[in-house]
Structure 1
Amino acid sequence: MKNKYTFLMIPPDHGPARQFQITLKGKRLVISGLCSFALLMVGLFSYNLYLSHTVQSQQAQLAALEQLQQENKTKDQEIARLKEESLQVTQDISRIQDLELKLMSILNLDPSKTPSFSTTGTKTTASAELSRGTASPFASQTFISDPEQISRELSLLQDYYNLALDNQEEIKHTPSIFPLKIEAAVASEFGYRRNPFGGYSKEFHNGVDLPCNYGTEVYATASGVVSVSGYDRVYGYLIEIDHGDGIETIYGHNSRLLFKVGEKVEKGDLIAYSGNSGRSTGAHLHYGARINGKTVDPLQFTDFTKEQ
């Protein structure tokens, strides 16, 4: 037949053959179907490749996301640790400030000044230094940012505070503070000096001369009982305090005395006003000390630096 195609199908056992006829239009439909099927298979294969690539990309993104989540978890833990550490540091600093104030009260130190570690003469124990007022727990002025170092400083300060409490009475009766609340250099030191009244002779100066204006407040450098209060031809208006354990302090050339013999004074009490009375060449305070009747340098008890 014209415009028709005949297909014979012969079985392998040589059975009856079968034939099929399709028209040209049917041929075109078959070819179109085969092409469409081929395009479909190519599309499915391409889509499968796309899905495979997408899955791999998403797996990589999920892995990166999991890594970020782990990093965030680690950072959260670090932040929590730092917060806890910061809280501990804040508490330690607060404790340090509290202990400093308590120690300043016991040692009768001026909070506006920063003392430093110092010793006088030979090496001494921390207990002796604290009782004499020559060792200070407030020596470091460097900013401390290391929490472990702050903890060590707190522990050290706590030891000083406990030591100060144990030696509180001894500290009170040790002349470890300066008799004037003004900055004053030593005009004449303890020991032999040239006679201030002229000539080339030398004399032994049994104290230190602290220049100050007439009427400057003079304070007791330790607690005790007034043993002398009156006028002396050499030291003018003079006050002496017995601090016990053989320690005495002397304050001379005053213009006015505020305590009488037998009265008790506390460390830091205002006891007199400076002047120019007695054998003096100008307004100043003569400050001296004795231990068991022997004259000593009164500044050996303090951390006062002669060169200011």
Structure 2
Amino acid sequence: MRFKWLKKRFTFMVIPDANSHVVRFRLSGWALSLMTLSVVLLASLAVTFYIIQSRSLGTNQLLENKLVGVTEQFEQTVTEKNTTIEQLQNDLVRLSQQADQVKDKIEELKKLESEMKSLTGMNGDKPVSISSASPGSSSSSHMGGGYTPATDSDIRGLIEDTEHHFDDLDKEIDGLFGTLSETKKQVEEMQQLLAITPNIWPVDSRNVSSGFGVRIDPFNYSPSFHNGIDIAGRTNDPVFVTADGTVTATGYDKSEGNHIVVDHGNGLHTHYMHLNEILVKKGDKVKKGEQIGKVGSTGRSTGPHLHYGVLKNGAVIDPRPYLKASRKDEP
């Protein structure tokens, strides 16, 4: 009963306009139902497609926006990375230049060490000067030439060269520390030896009135052996000890007058005679250049002067080889 209308037939009239014939067609209930259902289904499909399409467009737009953002971020990251890489490459070049500069400094230290040994009388091998110039080095601000960008191979080569440079520098520095330490020890020993070696003038005067060796005696005018040198001066001119040492004797003798003997070690002694005044006593430690007395004319003397003598292992020797131009020459 409910679906009886499906079996009925329905007549439809179509009137195009007032002067046209009426068009009639008949449809069964089933056909009408199918047509209606088809229209509803097509409308539903259209609406569904529209909704899906709208959502798809929105999703695509969102994804596109995200892609644009990610692309921009990636490009920014790549730019930053490229900047960082370029900076690292520049730093590497500067590091290579610094390695060359350190190499030059080491060469200078080697030369200085050689000069120190030469000045102190220590024979050392002359350092071999090695040029540290390399393609990445710059010893002057005056540069020029065409521009050719460095390739990855160039950078890798520079890295390897720099690593080798620093390995070599590390070894050279270790070796230099050893040689400089030994040189320092030798210099200290040399300084100590120089300190106890008589090598300065005992007075400021350079007027040697009588030399070492055979001379005509000023009192009896006959040949005699003079065991030192006489340096003429003025009364009370300062007398300086010519090396570090210990005062072993002071006193007065009718021949030597007021006199001082200083032991410098290594078998060396110095003797200062005819002093007007003695400023030290036996047992005093004295330093090179320190005043120990004053020029005079005591004892067997014809006038104010200093008799200066040097003894080596108990034997008198000529003092002249032990004299320098001035006390100020001594550091």
* Larger RCO: 1 or 2 (CA < 8 Å, sep 6+): 1
Task: Give the TM-score taking structure 1 as reference length.
Answer: 0.47
From the two aligned structures, give the one with the greater helix fraction: 2
- Name the TM-score, length of structure 2 as normaliser: 0.44
Larger Rg: 2
